[in-house]
Amino acid sequence: MGKTQDRQKKRAPKEGFVKSSNSMNPDRKLKNVDLRGAPKARDKATIKRLQMYRTGKAKCNRYGKVIKEAVFQHSLKSGTQARVEPNQRWFGNTKVIGQKSLQKFQDEMGKVLKDPYQVVMRQTQLPISLIKEAAKNQRVHILDTEPFGSVFGSKKTRKKPNLKVASIEEFAKQAQSAEEKYDVEDDIDLVRAIPDNMDKPPQWFLKAGQSKRIWNELYKVIDSSDVVIQVLDARDPMGTRSRLIEKYMRVECPHKHLIFVLNKVDLVPVWVTQKWVAVLSQEYPSLAFHSSITNAFGKGALINLLRQFSKLHEDKKQISVGLIGFPNVGKSSIINTLRSRKVCNVAPIAGETKVWQYVTLMRRIYLIDCPGVVPPSKESDVAMVLKGCVRIEYLEMPTEYIPPMLERVKHEYLRRTYKVDDWTTPDEFMEAFARRSGKLLKGGEPDLNAVAKMILNDWQRGKIPYFVPPPGHDSHNYDRLKMVENEAMAMSIVEKAEEDEQAELERVQNKNESLPYIWQNLGKIVLSVQYTGDDDRPLEPMTQEPNDQSDVEDETAEDEIENGGENEKENEATKINDENLESLENVSDDKTNESKETEEIIGEDELSSEEEEDSTIDQTSVIKKVRRKRKPRGDDEEDTNLQVDLTSKQRRKMERDQKRKKIGSDFYEVTNVKNKNRNKVDMTDSRMGKRGHRRTRRKK
């Protein structure tokens, strides 16, 4: 049976929305779509584009009549064709914006971008770079557009160069104004002489946190993070804040979020924390934090803030949060607090974290620990040490950092912490604390270096109460108190220095008066160069009279030099005879009477014939020399007689004197310790030989 018209009417497509959830239905509801592992469903534009590919031809019935036109094939009846209205607006720009609207959009977008509490959820397709203000006074690269050869020289193409001045007078005025603004100190092209003295280069430990390796670790953390947390010390937030890193993130990474965490709030009063959080919150989101695994503060607020950032980035599977800041501000401690267990190594000294490390906080949030970074600045070594950026054990002179530390702390807190009451200068404070803590050297002298290191370690660990007052509060009383204390301490230091200087001058004068010196008549010096004016001054009177022995004529000195060799020989002979006398002084009476010898006193006239002729020395200078008249004997006979003359007690004493006084025998002059095993093999061979000899005898 053939198809009827009623059947065709029943099969005719229905007009309106189709409720099916087919993947090619642009009117379907997304909640009914089964993705089947796909990341997202097709949008309406994609479905229509695919349908255009499939339905490019018109549908016709069996008679060839068009039932459904193809895309863009629909035709209108005669007289109903659409016509374009003859209006000028059809031939102008379609997407235009006025200057007022553009200025308003620029202001609103600038407020949103600069507001840290607002986030741009969807980036616009408008050219935002066109509304950004260009850098002022930007240098024009004139040589890129107009090379020098095209303006000057034989191959020039311009008839007139493009100069900033139009006449010689303007050029002269410009040169004169440049000469007035010229400063010799700012001229880097001048050749300068090498100065006589130069500052020593900073020590290596004062550059901690500024190496290229540390900065590479910082850039790794910033590039890998979606949210950056800058950790500040609550005692000195502005001193531990890095403006350089903030500027880098604002220019290079404007899409990354930056927040402040004020750590160590348990070391400052609560009102100080409140003020600093209010001040820092005007620029970036800020919150107070206390790192502790058992008793933390601000942990819940920080986790909720990180969860909000993870909700903003739903297109990412997880977000990374990097912690940056100065050394020893507590970055690793914050990570341990958030995890409620030790996952990062922590220490109360700078430089414990060497490299960056990933830590999982939850399924969608990861934490990145970064080494401490110190931005380059013109701060002194004292500021670097008191900020905690340097390890105290590396300091060579730790006592130099105690006076500036005392200027920042109230003396009341120091008395309460160290139980030291009476002191006016830093040295007195360190001496009193050294005696109280028992840090003394030999002779009871206080060990100031050890005490200074102890105080600086207490400073870095937060045992000494100290904080920087926040701006905008009434600090007159505090400033006045510290001013009075610092002035009193400065006056005490100056007075003590003057007293020490006066005592040193008196000691030097007394020492010069008491010490003997060689008197010389300096008035007899004949100058080879003449001086006039202030250079030619009379001599000062001598306070000490010349000694009789020192005022000796030159001739006498020459005679003494000539006779020096003979006198030395006589002195040696005298010394030898004296030693013999000492060895024989305890001889018994009987033997001493028999062996008693006569003594002769010989003057200088008996020593040599030359001295009799040239002697100019007084008769009082007489050399006493002991000579013993003995019978000519041999050496062996003398030794035997000496042994016979000595008693047994004296002989035992001589033997005891000849013995070694050292206990033990392993000394280089007795035992060859270095080559003690040289003859070990020979000894064993000899022993084996003896044993073998004994065995052969037994067998026989």
128-179 residue pLDDT tens: 666 666 555 556 666 776 777 777 778 777 667 677 787 889 989 999 999 9
Per the CB < 8 A criterion, the answer to whether 359 and 369 are in contact is: yes
Distance of CA 667 to the CA centre of its chain: 49
Q: Which domains are seen in the chain, by residue range?
A: 20-68 (no CATH), 204-369 (3.40.50.300), 389-498 (1.10.1580)
List of the chain residues with pLDDT < 50: 1-5, 8, 548-558, 561-562, 565-566, 573-576, 579-581, 583-629, 637-638, 640-643, 683-684, 690, 692-694, 696-697, 699-700
d(CA 611, CA 613): 5
Q: What is the DSSP string of 65-93?
A: -EEE--TT-----TT--------GGGGS-
| Residue 139, helix vs strand vs coil | coil
Return the C-alpha torsion angle 648, 653, 654, 660, nearest 10: 140
Q: Locate 95 and state its tokens.
A: 């997407």
Retrieve residue 571's tokens.
């002195």
Q: Which residues pair with 59 in a beta bridge?
A: 68
DSSP of 529-583, one letter per residue? S---GGGS-PPPPPSSPPPTTT---HHHHHHHHHTHHHHHHHHHHHHHHHHHHHH
* DSSP one-letter code for 167: S
The closest alpha carbon to 470, from 261, 287, 284, 279, belongs to 279
> Reduced to 3 states, what is the DSSP secondary structure of residue 527?
coil
Instruction: For residue 577, give the amino acid letter.
Output: N
- End-to-end CA separation in angstroms for the chain: 145
In the beta sheet, which residues pair with residue 446? Answer: 440
Contact 372, 209 (CB under 8 A): yes
Torsion angle of C-alpha atoms 199, 204, 209, 215, degrees rounded to 10: 90
- Tokens in use for 533? 């004016």
Q: Which residues of 454-467 are buried (b: 16+ CB within 10 A; e: fewer)?
A: bbbbebbebebbbb
pLDDT attached to residue 588? 42
Res 13: pLDDT? 58
Q: How many angstroms from the chain centroid is the CA of residue 347? A: 17
pTM (2 d.p.): 0.54
User: What pLDDT sits at residue 655?
Assistant: 87
Q: What radius of gyration do the chain's Cα atoms show?
A: 52
Q: Which of 440, 446, 458, 455 is nearest to 403 (CA)?
A: 455
Within a 10 A sphere around the Cβ of 296, how many other Cβ atoms?
Answer: 18
Q: Report the largest interatomic distance among the alpha carbons of the chain, rounded to a whole angstrom.
A: 179
pLDDT in tens, 493-540: 777 777 777 777 777 667 655 555 566 676 777 776 666 666 677 776
Look at residue 4 and give its three-state secondary structure. coil
Which residue type is seen at 651?
A: R
* SS3 of the chain: helix, strand, coil, percent, to 5: 45, 5, 50
Residue with tokens 């969807």: 122
Quote the CA–CA distance of 112 and 563 in Å, as a whole number.
106
Give the C-alpha distances (Å, rounded to integers) separating 389 from 215, 374, 381: 15, 8, 10
Q: Determine which helix (DSSP H) or strand (DSSP E) holds 277, and give its type and residue range.
A: helix 270-280
At what angle are helices 476-514 and 426-437 packed, to 10 degrees?
90
Residue 462 in contact with residue 267, Cβ under 8 Å? yes
User: What is the number of residues in the chain?
Assistant: 700
CA distances from 43 to 17, 23, 25, 152, 490 (A): 16, 10, 10, 63, 78
CB burial of 126-135 (b: ≥16 within 10 Å; e: otherwise) equals: eeeeeeeeee
The strand pairing partners of 324, in sequence order, are: 230
Nearest to 350 by CA among 235, 200, 230, 210: 210
CA distances from 666 to 279, 520, 634, 674 (A): 77, 56, 39, 11
Q: How far is CA 523 from CA 533, 537, 555, in A?
A: 18, 12, 20
Cα–Cα–Cα angle for 628, 630, 633, nearest 5°?
140
Q: Check: CB of residue 600 under 8 Å from CB of residue 627.
A: yes
